[in-house]
Structure 1
Amino acid sequence: MPYRAPVSEYLFTFDHVVGLDQVAATELFAEATGETVEAILSEAGKMCTDILAPLNRNGDLHPARLENGVVRTSPGFADGFRAIATGGWIGMAADPEHGGMGLPFSIATAVNEMVGSACLALQLNPLMTQGQIEALEHHASDAIKALYIPKLISGEWCGTMNLTESGAGSDVGALRTRAERNGDGTYAITGQKIFITWGDNDFAQNICHLVLARLPDGAPGTRGISLFMVPKFIPDAAGNPGPRNSLGVVSLEHKLGLHGSPTALMDYAGATGWLIGEEHKGMAAMFTMMNNARLGVGMQGVAVAEAAFQKALDYAQERKQGKTPLGAGAIIDHADVRRMLAVMKTETFSARAIGLACAVALDMARATGSADWAARAALLTPIAKAFGTDIGNEVAQLGLQVHGGMGFIEETGAAQFARDVRVTSIYEGTNGIQAMDLVGRKMMDGGAAAQRLLQEIEDHAGEARAAQPDLASAVWNAAEALRDATDWLVGQEADDRNAGATAYLRAFARVLGGHYHLKAALADLTRLPLAAVAIKRLLPEHLALIAQMREGAAGIYALTPERLAS
């Protein structure tokens, strides 16, 4: 069977797990009633199931290609993009002043996940545009906002993010792209950028590139970087695309997966650009887009996990192999296959709940101005990104295993999920960087935001003991262990924190997953078996992860290059 958008799962998670009602109770998002949310998700689900999902295989079999400087997209992608654009899905969370819906980011996050499950290669396009819209809303001049945002929301124009260069990957401050003042308020941008997702296409009237570059008087490192809007076609005052700018696609990358998403090497040869934000403060503006994209990429991992699980479940119910304890003959009745499917579903729920909880925190911070909600969102962002994409990779691999030998055959489609999702753990800062961000910048408050969240988990588990004593006690004990680990962590030197960062992030995700599964089971007892998998089989990993974290950096650095090579 093809992908089916799990609308009821989103509604349950919003209502009983992550508390979307808090968002709807604010003045800013008062229109996000349960009835409205259900109608929006149902309509988006129909588009994903009926229109976008059938395109997924086309993107894999017929990659985007570069012909005489023009990017030709995969068959059906133009129609798919138009369905997304005309439905208003690009501007879901954008300001109504410029034509957006003004919906909570939580709703946009759920819709984006569905679009990613249906066709991840295409979903990357509107995701980049959404991030650019948010960056412009926060940092651009009124004139730039009025000219660009309505076109981006409508889908007439598309947006990209240009950070990476061949000599400056994660070390953005090492970039060499330069900007020169033209004397008329514009700037000349010269340099090359690599790995530019959807750097061009053949269905948008204009491609709007946000480009990081350094002015002649810019300080070294990230402090001296500025951000510029550099359109493919220079628009006139009415927004009509005019002359071609001095930029172009040099080549498209040949990738492991996501073949339908053109990843471009972009060349800027004195291209005309407009400053976004202040000179030398481009990273602050770009981080607005990057933070949006980090959660978005985390949910891409969840999206692929959902699609891979659905395909594996369908196959397991149809494939007959050997005698099973239940006698039906389908492989789903073999204990180990049932275990794999249970883990796939459990992990997908955990990662989704973490991502949606992060989105709710972002909405609450925006609607209330609360510093605590902002800190909660900041804390959850690296966890949502890293855990979501790790789970996307792991669930896709389990999907291959459920298919057995047929999973290794491309025609079944299971392998595409594994190839497409692999890059998400690298996108927008590798997962190791996310983990170091969690134990570094996100712990600059002495761990206060983490401790507040863990206290909430303990309080809920304490209340749940009357109904589910075993599961609730396990969650409470895990949260307490993580509280102690957090106290230890904030007292360590940076190298020791960084060496244990990945283990700590995973342990935190394990505790969050157990907490959200417990909430789900209390709201619906039919979810109790799934919660038991999360809490009894997966949550115990947190102790081993905490032990890893406490080992520090000495043992890692004892493995010198010479010892590693011997």
Structure 2
Amino acid sequence: MWHYDAPLREMRFVIEDVLQAPAAWRSMPAFADLDMDTAAEVLAQAARFASEVLQPLNGPGDREGCRLVQGHVKTPAGFAQAWASFVEGGWPALACDPDVGGQGLPQLLNAALFEMLVSANHAWTMYPGLLHGAYETLLAHAEPALRERYLPKIVSGEWLAAMALTEPQAGSDLGLVRTKAAPRPDGSLAVTGSKIFISGGDHDLSENIVHLVLCRLPDAPAGPKGLSLALVPKFLPDGSRNAMVCDGLEHKMGIHGSATCAMRYDGAIGWLVGEPNRGLAAMFVMMNAARLHVGLQGLGHLEMAAQNARRYALERLQMRAVVRPPGASAAADPIARHPAMRRSLRSLQAVAEGLRVVAYQAAMWLDEAHRHPDAGQREQAFARAAFLTPVVKAFATHWGFQGASEALQVFGGYGYVREFGIEQTLRDSRIALVYEGTNEIQAIDLLLRKTLADGGAAFERWLDELAPAATAHDAFGSALSDQLAAARAALGSLRQAQPDDPEAPWRVADDFLMGVGHLLLAWAWARIATAARRCQDDAAWAAERESLARHGVAWVLPQARVHWHRVSAAAPLDEVRA
């Protein structure tokens, strides 16, 4: 019974009615010829690929996993064929620049594509997950000759990419990276060192894998200011195998079909990307793109969990509901009629629909940051997207795992066994809270770097931009207005506490991010309700969107008070003792 139906109608509603993206596209010459009918057809084709090709491989791929055979990684049956179909369909090139072989479509559509891919098969989607980030990094920082050699193959998907940052002693603190890069007479580098937790470091999906490796040149300064970025391909331009090897595969809690590799570089030949000792600046282009995709993983898991739990609850008969509809039979009712299940199921759906608005808005701002003809608009959109990125990454992945856990509860004992699928979603979703910068690091980035660094001025301007959605004289306007006031009060408390208690922001950063996440849900639900009231073609469907948003305000949003209270109180923490 476990399967995936892409929520195409809801996706189109968010893109066309809530965010009104087609009007924004007309203001950007690169997208001026794109209309909603064309966009809808792209989404429909993506949905078919996700549900017909990827989703049937999800459970079997989890059970089979990846294997290391004589130094080569073998992915689960069907994964390589699915990748070949993905490349043949031109999907890797969807949001890439036409000048380098891309289709030139918006990041917004790419975000919707990746929501569907992750919903259907997270492990498989790990392989293309870093591809767009690698494309953006090379486009922005690589020398022309390097771009010409590698970018077309990456854009087309003929070659895949891997991001090699982490070492045993250098996880979140990349300043501890030890991998060395020695200049060679021909201008290339000899890269030597070991990396761990490298997603897609080796596999059999593409004929070449382009590794972007953080390393140190001779005499580089210590710490993060001494890091450089090198492009190190699995196969060199002459066709020979580079001096790199997969030493082992991690045996993980979930995403078993994704090859998480320990890689060793034994003087592997590579080329510098960007300036010497400026590798982090180049790498952050890739990491920021990856963080949005990880946020979409959270949304995808939540959507998959919610819709399957809903299907199960409508079919599973058990006991009699407390209040039964008129004319209901005397037999047992579907558990979806029971109050506890109604509350869970509607909360999951309400959050999924709200998060979709937030994540798609981030992607839309990225489109404006790169494509809007006005420089001021581009700068403003980039700042908005940068602010939203850590929230999308952390808050959506929190809900991906939390939602999967609540959905498992709907299945009862059946949820705990393999055959019903939800236990795999729970396992797969958990990693998203950890990689691409843990959620705690995202919270520190949001509060310390992006909010308090300028005394909160940019944050307050951003709150002002959200405020128009709070002007409606209804429950949605009131709820958003309360959240905006709570955010401003929390910021004021932190400003007052910080001079005498410098650690205070660090203690409450997680709660600050969660508070902002709930604020954004309130904003999204207000936008959904407004758009739903404008819908003319299906009044019942539109009313259900507003009803779900109202449920979110009543049953999910109250949790924000806990987070804002903690931020304002900034209670002290004792040391951990043995």
- Relative to the length of structure 2, the TM-score reads 0.93
Q: How far apart, in 2, do the equivalents of 1:17 and 1:534 lie? A: 17
Aligned partner of 1:532 in structure 2 is 550
Q: How far apart, in 2, do the equivalents of 1:536 and 1:16 lie? A: 24
The answer (yes or no) to whether the contact 2:227–2:277 under 8 Å persists in 1 is yes
Aligned partner of 1:515 in structure 2 is 523
Greater alpha carbon shift after TM alignment, 2-11 vs 415-424:
2-11
The answer (yes or no) to whether the contact 1:318–1:330 under 8 Å persists in 2 is yes
Could you report, residue by residue, the CA deviation over 1:495-532 in whole angstroms, capped at 9, with x for unpaired residues?
21111111111111111101111111122151222111
The answer (yes or no) to whether the contact 1:16–1:519 under 8 Å persists in 2 is no
Could you report, residue by residue, the CA deviation over 1:511-556 in whole angstroms, capped at 9, with x for unpaired residues?
110111111112215122211122122222222211111233x622
1:352 aligns with 2:356: yes
1:263 aligns with 2:268: no
Report the 3-state secondary structure (helix = DSSP H, G, I; strand = E; otherwise coil) of the residue aligned with 1:235: coil
Aligned partner of 1:547 in structure 2 is 565
How far did 1:81 drift? 1.1
In structure 2, give the amino acid aligned to 1:415: E
In structure 2, give the amino acid aligned to 1:396: A
How far did 1:27 drift? 1.6
Aligned partner of 2:396 in structure 1 is 388
Aligned partner of 1:5 in structure 2 is 6
- Runs of 5+ in structure 1 lacking a partner? 237-241
1:290 aligns with 2:299: no
Report the 3-state secondary structure (helix = DSSP H, G, I; strand = E; otherwise coil) of the residue aligned with 2:569: coil
In structure 2, give the amino acid aligned to 1:8: R
In structure 1, give the amino acid aligned to 2:17: H
The answer (yes or no) to whether the contact 1:88–1:153 under 8 Å persists in 2 is no
Q: How far apart, in 1, do the equivalents of 2:34 and 2:454 lie? A: 33
Aligned partner of 1:299 in structure 2 is 296
Could you report, residue by residue, the CA deviation over 1:76-129 in whole angstroms, capped at 9, with x for unpaired residues?
111111122111111211111111111111111110110111111011111111
Q: How far apart, in 2, do the equivalents of 1:290 and 1:539 lie? A: 30
Q: How far apart, in 2, do the equivalents of 1:38 and 1:453 lie? A: 31
- Work out which of the residue numbers 52, 55, 73 in structure 2 matches 1:53: 55
Could you report, residue by residue, the CA deviation over 1:22-74 in whole angstroms, capped at 9, with x for unpaired residues?
24421232233212211111111111111111111121111011011011110
- Work out which of the residue numbers 370, 383, 387 in structure 2 matches 1:379: 387
Could you report, residue by residue, the CA deviation over 1:103-160 in whole angstroms, capped at 9, with x for unpaired residues?
1111111101101111110111111112111111111111111111111122221100
Aligned partner of 1:447 in structure 2 is 456
Report the 3-state secondary structure (helix = DSSP H, G, I; strand = E; otherwise coil) of the residue aligned with 2:240: strand
1:504 aligns with 2:519: no
- Work out which of the residue numbers 315, 318, 342 in structure 1 matches 2:315: 318
1:250 aligns with 2:251: no
The answer (yes or no) to whether the contact 2:489–2:568 under 8 Å persists in 1 is no
Q: How far apart, in 2, do the equivalents of 1:489 and 1:106 lie? A: 35
Q: How far apart, in 2, do the equivalents of 1:551 and 1:470 lie? A: 27
Q: How far apart, in 1, do the equivalents of 2:379 and 2:338 lie? A: 50
Aligned partner of 1:239 in structure 2 is none
- Work out which of the residue numbers 405, 408, 427 in structure 1 matches 2:435: 427
Once the two structures are aligned, what percentage of the paired residues are identical? 40
The answer (yes or no) to whether the contact 1:64–1:73 under 8 Å persists in 2 is yes
The answer (yes or no) to whether the contact 1:301–1:389 under 8 Å persists in 2 is yes
Q: How far apart, in 1, do the equivalents of 2:60 and 2:475 lie? A: 48
- Relative to the length of structure 1, the TM-score reads 0.95
Q: How many residues align?
A: 551
Q: How far apart, in 2, do the equivalents of 1:178 and 1:360 lie? A: 39
1:489 aligns with 2:491: no
How far did 1:490 drift? 4.7
In structure 2, give the amino acid aligned to 1:87: G
Report the 3-state secondary structure (helix = DSSP H, G, I; strand = E; otherwise coil) of the residue aligned with 1:234: coil
Q: How far apart, in 2, do the equivalents of 1:31 and 1:497 lie? A: 46
Could you report, residue by residue, the CA deviation over 1:295-349 in whole angstroms, capped at 9, with x for unpaired residues?
1001011111111111111111111111123246111111101111011111112
Q: How far apart, in 1, do the equivalents of 2:334 and 2:425 lie? A: 23
Greater alpha carbon shift after TM alignment, 281-290 vs 519-528:
519-528
